[in-house]
Amino acid sequence: MQLSKAEEQLMKYLWKLEKAFMKDLLDSFPEPKPATTTVATLLKRMTDKGFIEYTLYGKSREYYPLVKKTDYFSKHVNGLIKNFFNDSASQFASFFTSETNLSTSELEELKKIVDQELLKKQK
């Protein structure tokens, strides 16, 4: 299951805060802030989808994520690789490095990351 763009934005705030009441989440948004009812609707949908849960304190709900940020985004990247790059990570890497206008220093940093992963896997 996937989050809508609006739900994803709200989820980013919740990942950052780790636990939050409605007021905390509303405070995270830049101006103009969304209506409280809009955020409440998004929270309800995200709860129904199994992405978040809450603890009830009287009438207040403290929300927290059930899905880790890294798990959510790795699922999307893996889906992207599968659907658009014939399930080939090397095709994805080739596209990413040639089509995103990365600087020499950014490419060198990527190379370091790949080299570090290679070292880990060789042990």
pTM value is 0.74
pLDDT in tens, the chain (123 residues): 789 999 999 999 999 999 999 999 999 999 999 999 999 999 999 999 999 999 999 999 999 999 999 999 888 888 888 888 888 888 888 888 888 888 899 999 988 998 998 989 888
Overall residue count recorded for the chain in this entry: 123
**DSSP secondary structure letters along 61-123:** EEEEESS-HHHHHHHHHHHHHHHHSTT-HHHHHHHHHHHS---HHHHHHHHHHHHHHHHHHH-
Q: Are 84 and 78 in contact (CB under 8 A)?
A: no
